[in-house]
Amino acid sequence: MSQIFTIANQKGGVGKTTTSVNLAASLAHSGKRVLLVDMDPQGNATMGVGVEKNSLEHSVYEVIMGETPVEEAVRPVESSGFDILPANRNLTAAEVELINLPGKETRLRHALLRVASRYDFIIIDCPPSLSMLTVNSLVACHGVIIPMQCEYYALEGLSDLVATIQRIGKLLNPSLRIEGILRTMYDPRSSLTNEVNAQLHKYFGNKVYRIAIPRNIRLAEAPSYGQPVLVYDRQSKGAIAYLGLAGEVIRRSKEHQVAELQGTGN
């Protein structure tokens, strides 16, 4: 069964797109069939895997508006071994247009159901806001991976996001769960980092991934070459960290599936 994860945080600059692209590449490198869905009108994930967003014939916008079957919009990222449902600035219009459409919160979910059996993992990259696009992403997924920096204001934003996830879970997606908290741009030498890290473990326990993503120049450089860091520099600390994250994601997914089969839930 395909596992669908949304990478979400309403705060910008925390590594959502970096995580989406590099987790997709690392899962594919681990032998999994992966689809990356770009739900950000900026199209950074699309550009970050080498797809020219301004020359797209079909994108996620046409898919969620019901104009194009998802199968026609998905395209392979041959250098990285996964597929992408790309985005560009057209997606901005969806924010307004979705408001008046029936099933406005479930458009992405129904689209992905058409292709879910083709993939082991579907990774959704969200915009940095709690918008209708983000709501669609949260309704479509099984779990949310929350990337965050270990800084003071991040904790306040995290509590707001958790409340939003709980509301959407109650109203629109009963199976929605917090899959994990991912510490990004991690610097263990900082006392503030260690304080926030302690708070995360106190409140979220084993929801905090063991792997933390370090600050790494190769991670920052890779998008400008249209490549995941695993393709750009496989020996870099960033690439090694995301491979480790993929391992954790695979292990947790197996545990969830076993729990569901045994009727113990999440």
pTM of the model as a whole: 0.95
Residues 260 and 188: beta-carbon distance below 8 Å: no
| Contact predicate 17/48, CB 8 Å | yes
- Residue 107: inside a domain: yes
Q: 266 in a domain, yes or no?
A: no
The token pair that represents 85 in the structure block: 């449902």
Q: Does residue 251 lie in a domain region?
A: yes
Structural domain including 199 reads 3-261
Sequence-ordered list of residues with C-beta below 8 angstroms from that of 256, at least 6 positions apart, any chain: 3, 142, 143, 266
Residue 46 CB: number of other CB atoms within 10 A?
29
Contact present, 10 and 137 (Cβ < 8 Å): no
- Measured CA to CA, the distance from residue 207 to residue 148 in angstroms comes to 13
Domain count, the chain: 1
Both tokens assigned to 259: 């729990």
pLDDT at 78: 92
Q: What pLDDT does residue 263 have?
A: 75
Cα(193)–Cα(208) distance, rounded to whole angstroms? 14
| pLDDT for 255 | 87
Tell me, yes or no, whether 188 lies in a domain.
yes
For 21, the token pair is: 């692209």
Is 45 within the bounds of a domain?
yes
Specify which residues 125 forms β-bridges with: 7, 38
- Which residues on adjacent β-strands are paired with residue 122? 4, 35
Secondary structure (3-state) at 45: helix
Q: Is residue 88 part of a domain?
A: yes
Domain harbouring 131, CATH code: 3.40.50.300
Instruction: Please answer whether residues 184 and 7 qualify as being in contact, where contact means their C-beta atoms are separated by less than 8 angstroms.
Output: no
Q: What is the pLDDT of residue 256?
A: 81
Helix (H, G, I), strand (E, B) or coil at 2: coil
Per-residue pLDDT of the chain (266 residues; tens, 9 = 90+): 799 999 999 888 889 999 999 999 999 999 999 999 999 999 999 999 999 999 999 999 999 999 999 999 999 999 999 999 999 999 999 988 998 888 999 999 999 999 999 999 999 999 988 889 999 999 999 999 999 988 877 777 788 889 999 999 999 999 999 999 999 999 888 888 889 899 999 999 999 999 999 999 999 999 999 999 999 999 999 999 999 999 999 999 988 878 877 876 55
Decide: 160 and 10 in contact? Cβ < 8 Å: yes
- First and final CA of the chain: distance in angstroms? 16
